[in-house]
Amino acid sequence: MSDCIECGGSIRLPENPMVGEVLACASCGIELEVSGISPLMLQLAPEIDEDWGE
Amino acid sequence: MNPRIGITFSRIRLEDKMILEEFDRRGIVYDRIDDGDVTWSLQDRQPRWDVLLDRSLGFGRSRATARILEGRGVLCVNSARTVEICGDKLAAQVALEGAGVATPATTIAYGREAALRAAEELGYPVVLKPTVGSWGRLIARLNDRDAAEAVLEDREVLGNWTHHVYYLQKLIDKPGRDIRLFVIGGEAVCAVYRVSEHWITNTARGGRTENCPVDDRLAEIGRKAAACCGAEVLAVDLVEDREGVLYVLEMNHSMEFRNSVAPTGVNIPGLIIDHLLRLAQERKA
């Protein structure tokens, strides 16, 4: 578990987090990107652009 | 000598992680390229990689990267041409129709009145889609003329120029599901039904998946679809009408498959890597 940098809520971490992986905060819904592994660091995920997706 | 492999990302989606874990499991070395951080000099002629697997999320980023790296001699999966066709529903549909693949009745119009006339001629309900768009965003079902007038006015006033190419498609009366077909190296490898009570069955919008056996019809559609856009790795979205006729809705050049590996039992990321390595070997030979 880690703390949401936006609301302080608990973030459930995947088994093997990867830099660039996006996690959603169950408390506030914000998306956070893993920016470091050792130690684990989270930052706000980049905004989704209009042409993003499939 | 092992091929030099680059992989572009915007963010690591679940399927991207599955691909990276498969690379790691096999002990294959690759370069991760964060497309939000990278810079590309157009004077740089060094290829650096034999093959590039593009997993960028943005249509614009994928197209630009492929153009730049193809200019340096890098084999991009997928190519700039494939990205250009698949990233634009209109271009994809023209390519599919040219290849003899059935698509839903569709009319393009540029003026609001012309669009309303087109909708009447297609017969309500029709679907208005942006030609460039994803995850089902800004797709509107128009059940009657009142809805069409309201949505078209919104697009005219609020949309950008791409939204002023009105792409109107007859809604196919489908049995609560559509089909996603995965094609790798020109061959259909598996397919899923995407089931939803909502008329948009995209799993990004909450649809669930079930295995769909790949029969001869799907296999042929997969081959034709990949050939018409030159795709090495492709997801083809189809609907079947109540009579069982299949229509291709769109093609995806950077496919998502997180909900498709379990129901099909097919290791999609593994097959992508197998094909990537095969292409790299062919290029070196």
Note the ipTM here. 0.80
**Helix spans in chain B (H):** 14-26, 59-71, 80-86, 89-98, 112-122, 145-158, 216-229, 261-264, 268-284
Per-residue pLDDT tens for B259-272?
A: 999 999 999 999 99
Q: What percent of chain B shows pLDDT beyond 90?
A: 85
Chain A residues contacting B via beta carbons under 8 Å? 16, 18-22, 33-34, 45-46, 48-54
**Residues B99 and B225 sit within 8 Å (Cβ to Cβ):** yes
The pLDDT assigned to B205 comes to: 64
Distant-in-sequence, close-in-space partners of B176: CB < 8 Å, separation ≥ 6: B195, B196, B197, B201
Q: Which of B12, B252, B256 sits opposite A21 (nearest CB)?
A: B12
Read off the pTM.
0.92
d(CA B207, CA B195): 5
The residue whose two tokens read 């999320």 is B57
Contact residues on chain A for B252, CB-CB shorter than 8 A: 54
Per-residue pLDDT tens for B69-127?
A: 999 999 999 999 999 999 999 999 999 999 999 999 999 999 999 999 999 999 999 99
d(CA B237, CA B202): 9
Range 84-103 of B in CB contact (< 8 A) with A = 87
Q: Which amino acid is at A34?
A: V
Per-residue pLDDT tens for A2-50?
A: 889 889 888 888 889 999 999 989 889 899 999 999 899 999 998 888 7
Q: Which of A16, A20, A45 sits opposite B9 (nearest CB)?
A: A20
Confidence of residue B136 (pLDDT cuts 50, 70, 90): confident
Contact residues on chain B for A34, CB-CB shorter than 8 A: 12
d(CA B30, CA A33): 21
**Residues B55 and B7 sit within 8 Å (Cβ to Cβ):** yes
Interior/surface letters A16-49, b for 16+ CB within 10 angstroms, e for the rest: ebbebbbbebeeeebebbbeeeeeeebeebeebe
The pLDDT assigned to A1 comes to: 78
Per-residue pLDDT tens for B148-198?
A: 999 999 998 887 888 899 999 999 998 889 999 999 999 999 999 999 877
Q: Which of A16, A19, A53 sits opposite B57 (nearest CB)?
A: A53
Q: Which of A16, A34, A51 sits opposite B58 (nearest CB)?
A: A51
Contact residues on chain B for A52, CB-CB shorter than 8 A: 10, 57-59, 134-135
The pLDDT assigned to B163 comes to: 87
More confident residue, B101 or B285: B101
> Quick check: A18 and B137 CB within 8 A?
no
> Quick check: A54 and B137 CB within 8 A?
no
Q: What percent of chain B shows pLDDT beyond 70?
A: 98
Distant-in-sequence, close-in-space partners of B277: CB < 8 Å, separation ≥ 6: B3, B28
> Quick check: B132 and A49 CB within 8 A?
no
The pLDDT assigned to B203 comes to: 60
Tell me which chain A residue has its CA closest to the CA of residue B56: A52
Strand partners, B102: none
Contact residues on chain B for A51, CB-CB shorter than 8 A: 58-60, 87, 132-134
- Residue whose C-alpha is closest to residue B56's, from A20, A13, A37, A24: A20
> Quick check: A22 and B36 CB within 8 A?
no
Is residue B201 pLDDT above 90, yes or no? Answer: no
Lowest mean pLDDT segment, chosen from A44-48, B233-237, B240-244: A44-48
Range 138-197 of B in CB contact (< 8 A) with A = none
- Residue whose C-alpha is closest to residue B134's, from B252, B276, B7: B252
